[in-house]
Amino acid sequence: MIAFLLRRTAFLALTVLLASMLVFAVTNLLPGDPARILLGREAGPAALAEVRAELGLDRPVPVRYATWLAGAVRGDWGDSFATGDPIGGLLAERLGNSLRLAGVTLVFAVPLAVLLGVVAAVQAGRWPDAVVSLSSLAVVGLPEFVTGIVLIQVFAFGLGWFPANASIPPGTPFLEALPSLVLPAATATLVMLAYVARLTRASVLEELRRPYLRTALLKGVPRRTVLRRHALRNALLPTITVVAISVGWLISGLIVVENVFNYPGLGRLLTFAIDRRDLPLLQAVTLVAVVVFALANLVADVLYAWLDPRIRLA
């Protein structure tokens, strides 16, 4: 298990390192001069050169990459072009908010989605399956921004139950922030729900076709017991992978959802950085999201190996 853990962690570190190179390369080698962005179109060559030197842009790219990475590891991300503030503090606060929203979403979405997927598989071909499959198909076709706007119209403007604008001030305690979290989390939940339920249904169905299940049924074990004791236990293993994959889905979804509700998370910060052409902020937000995504995958791998010895021994 320890060897497996080390191997996975090393692989993860390598991937994150490669991704950080990619993020840095994209933001530095593609057209778009930060000095020009800072100073505007009319700046003269002398002023441009001065700002470039100040930002360290006159040094070779590998040196700049090393400086940037070393800073990032220590939590020193430099200053934002747009606001002039250190990026580190901003990043920590927004990451906290995004994790809060993601947490609430996962707590609702995962158990519900697994339940729906299992029901659909066990009742395959009957009406509960048809209902679950049809509604998940309908939800798959709905972009998050449409769902979010509809929920705002109904529950914020129509019924007045929850606020439409989720822009909570920094440092709001969790319980106070909760009403603002409900609609964004519900929007993200709907999207995850369809996706996870569909994949859970598929994995349970596959398990139900295995010969050992037929053997159990034929030797007289009641169907309910076979389902609970044999099929579900094995079918829920792949579901862990599904949930981990859907974290990538969730990150994409949250970027959109945070922008619909004006929720102060990483996704909102990302579009802010793009609007203002704030390259250091863009790099920082992207890298943090990459690390979160990689860690989620690692957690899933470890959980899976812990539950299924065949994986870690292979």
Residue type, 11: F
Q: Please choose, out of 40-48, 79-87, 163-171, 284-292, the segment that lies near other proteins by the rule CB under 8 A.
A: 284-292
- Least Cβ distance, residue 27 to other proteins (angstroms): 5
Does residue 294 belong to the site contacting other proteins (CB under 8 A)? yes
- Specify which residues 86 forms β-bridges with: 79
Does residue 47 belong to the site contacting other proteins (CB under 8 A)? no
Instruction: Specify the length of the chain in residues.
Output: 314
Does residue 16 belong to the site contacting other proteins (CB under 8 A)? yes
Burial class (CB in 10 A: 0-12, 13-18, 19+), 255: buried
- Least Cβ distance, residue 261 to other proteins (angstroms): 12
Does residue 80 belong to the site contacting other proteins (CB under 8 A)? no
Residues 6+ apart with CB under 8 A from 186: 108, 151
Residues 6+ apart with CB under 8 A from 178: 104
> Contacts with other proteins: how many residues (CB under 8 A)?
44
CA distance 297 to 245: 7
DSSP structural state of residue 168: P
Provide the mask over 203-242, with x wherever binding to other proteins is found by CB under 8 A and - wherever it is not. Answer: ----------------------------------------
Does residue 18 belong to the site contacting other proteins (CB under 8 A)? yes
DSSP structural state of residue 228: I
CA distance 246 to 196: 7
Does residue 301 belong to the site contacting other proteins (CB under 8 A)? no
CA distance 30 to 253: 27
Nearest alpha carbon to residue 290 among 69, 86, 23, 68 = 23
Does residue 158 belong to the site contacting other proteins (CB under 8 A)? no
Provide the mask over 99-138, with x wherever binding to other proteins is found by CB under 8 A and - wherever it is not. Answer: --------------------------------------xx
Out of 76, 248, 307, 309, name the contact with other proteins by CB under 8 A. Answer: 248
Residues forming contacts to other proteins in the complex (CB under 8 A) are 15-16, 18-19, 21-23, 26-27, 30-32, 137-138, 140-146, 149, 153, 157, 248-249, 251-252, 255-256, 259, 270-271, 273-275, 277, 279, 282, 286, 289-290, 293-294
